[in-house]
Chains A and B, each alone.
Chain A
Amino acid sequence: MASIDISNVSKTYPGASAPSVSDINLSIRDGEFIVLVGPSGCGKSTLLRMVAGLEDITGGEVHIGDRLVNRVDPADRDIAMVFQNYALYPHMTVRENMAYGLKNRRTPATEIESRVAEAARMLELGPYLDRKPRALSGGQRQRVAMGRAVVRQPAAFLFDEPLSNLDAKLRVSMRGEIRRLQKRLGTTSLYVTHDQLEAMTLADRLVVLNAGRIEQVGAPLDIYHNPASTFVASFIGSPAMNLIDAEIRGSSLHIGATEVPLGSMQAAQGPVTAGIRAEDLQVTGHGLPFRVDFVEELGAQRLVHGHVEGQPLTLALTPDAALHDAFHLSIRPGALHLFDTRSGRRLPQPESGVFASRVLA
C-alpha cells in the first residue's frame, strides 16, 4: 500500500501537435479511492497508463510511495491493472490467469496457491478455477481480472473503465463489489470512468478532467454542490445542471424579462451563466415562466423538459405533482450557481436568499 504523487505530469504523444494531458498535479493518499472522470478523449486513460508505466511520461514526475517511478518498468512499480476488455490470457485457466504474475515473480508455489484460493473465495470464483475465460460470462471474467489484481497484493490498483462492457444491472452490482473489496483491502486505487454515476458512487475523491487538464478535485458531494465550472456542473449530476444565460444588475439576476432578487448587492455585474439543478426548482404561483415541451417518467421522479424565456430547462418533479402546460418556478434558496459566461469559472455565490422572482411588467 502506498500513496501516489503526480506532479506536473504532461504527455504529448509522438507526432501529436498538442499535449493529451498537461500539467497534472494530484496527491493520492494511502488507501484512497480516486476516480478520474471526464468525457471521451480527455486523457483519463493516458494519465492512468502513465502511472502504470505503459506510456512514457513526457514531463513531470510520478512517485509511488517515496519512489520516483518515471523510468521504472511496469512490472516493478508494484501496481496491478484491470482493463476494460479484461485482457485475460485466453489459453490459461482462471487459476493460471491469477497465478501468472506471481509465478513470474518467483513466489513460492504454496504461497501462490493460498493467495489464489483466498482471492477466489473473496470473488466467489471457486467453481470456475479450472475453466478457460472463454467459458465465463462477462461479469465472471471481470471478477477474474480483479482476482488477478488482488492476488498480487500490490501497492495500488489501477482500473481503466472496468465495467463498461457489462450490462447496466451487472454494472451496479460489480460497482458495489469493487467498492467493498477496496474498503476491505485498503489498497490505494485509481479508477477511470466516463460514467458520472459510477464516479460519484465509488470515489473518496473525484478528479474531473477536461481536455487533458484537471477541472476540479474533491469529494463527490462537494463537487456536486460546488462545481468549479460550467463544465463540471454539466458533467456531474443527472440530469445535467441547467445552464442559463442571465445578467446581474445590482442585487438581482435577470433571466430574459424575469427578475430574480438575490438579496444583496453582487460583486459580479453584467452577463453570467446561472446554474440550477433540476431538483432545485420549485413550482410556485408566480416566478420564472416555464413552458412544458415533454415529460420523461423515471418512476421515482418525473423530468419535465421545457423552456424559460426561450432557454431550455429541465425540471424534476415528484410523480404525484400535477402537470400543466405551463408553470411558474422559483429557485430553492442557496441552490443558485453563478458562473462567468466567458471563462465558465464559478463566481462568488450569492448569500442564500429567497429567490422568488418577479416578472417585470
Chain B
Amino acid sequence: MNRVRPFDHFVLILGTLFMVLPVAVAVMTSTHTAVEIHSHGLFLTPGGHGAETYATVLTRQGGFTGQVTGTRMMMNSLILGIGFAVGKIVLSMAAAYALVYFRFRFASFLFWIIFTTLLLPLEVRIMPSYQVMSDLGLLNSYTGLIVPLLASATGTFYFRQFFKSVPDELLEAARIDGAGPFKFLIDVLIPLSRTMMAAIFIIMFVYGWNQYLWPMLMTTEERFFTLMRGIKQILQVWVGSQIPDYNEAFALAILALAPPVLVVVVFQRWFIKGLTESDK
C-alpha cells in the first residue's frame, strides 16, 4: 500500500501547479512597475517595487471624490462578508430552531416555502429588492448592502437537519433540568452546532466577500465601495491613453484573495469536523 507511485505524484504535482501558478504569477507581477508589466507581460520572478505598490493601493485616495482607499474598500468587503455570514447564521439558526422545536401550524409547509426560495437567487429578484431598499431609504448603507442577502434557505436547511438529528432526550433532559426554550438554545444547541456554524461561516463569508452585482447596484457613494469593485475601477483607466496600473490591479486582487484564504485556513479544522464528525 505504501509503495511510492510516481504517476500519482506527477498528477498531484500537476494539479497543485495548476491551482497555485496563477496566484504565484499574480503575486510576482504585482511587485513590478506598471511600465515593466506593459512591456514584458507577466512575471514569475519578484520585482523590486512590491512595498510601494501595496502601500499605494492601500492608502491612496482614489475615485472622483478621493474618499476611498484600498483599506477602506477592504474594510467594506469585510463588513459585507462578516455581516453577511454572521447574519445568515443567526437568521437561519433561529428559523430552523422554530421549525424543529416549536409546534405550530403549517410548519413543514413553511419550511418548503423557505426551501423553494433556493430557486430565486438574488439575481432573479434584484429589481424588486432594489425597489424595496430604495423605498426604505437604505441605498448607500451597510444595512441595505447586507440585509437583502440574508434570507437563506440553505442555512435553514442545514441547521434543520442538524437539529433533527439531536436526540429528543437531550431536550427532555434539559426541560427536566429547568432549561427553558432560550436556555436550551444557548446552553445546548449552540455549543453542539459550533462545527456546523464554522462550516457555514466559511461558505457564507466567501460568498458575501465575492458579491459584485448587488453592491454595485446598491452603493453609488464611493465610501461604500468593496474591493471587488475597486479592482475594476483601476482597470477602467484603459479608456484614456495612459498605461493602466496593472501592478495595482494585481496587488488589489491579491488583497482580495487573502481574507477568504485566511478564513478557510483558520476555520478549516472545525469545518472538516463539522462535515465528518458528529458530537452527539
A contact set with B: CB distance below 8 Å: 52-54, 73-75, 79-81, 83-85, 87-91, 100-101, 104-105, 134, 148
Contacts and interface: CB of A to CB of B under 8 A. Distances in A.
Contacts of A84: 169
Interface string B170-195: 10111111110001000110011000
Interface string B156-174: 0000000000010110111
Contacts of B173: 81, 83, 87-89, 148
Contacts of A91: 188, 191-192, 279
Interface string B186-230: 011001100000000000000000000000000000000000000
Chain B contact residues, majority secondary structure: helix
B191 A81 contact: no
Nearest to A160: B169
A91 B166 CA distance: 13
Most buried by A among B173, B178, B187, B280: B173
B175 A54 contact: yes
A74 B179 contact: no
A85 B175 CA distance: 16
A335 B184 CA distance: 56
Interface string B135-173: 000000000000000000000000000000001011011
A75 B169 contact: no
A75 B280 CA distance: 23
Contacts of B174: 89, 100
Contacts of B188: 89, 91
B172 A85 contact: no
B279 A74 contact: no
A75 B279 contact: no
Given A90-B192, A91-B192, A134-B279, A75 B175 contact: yes
Given A54-B172, A85-B167, A85-B169, A90 B177 contact: no
Contacts of B170: 87, 89
Most buried by A among B172, B176, B177, B192: B176
Nearest to A96: B187
Nearest to A134: B279
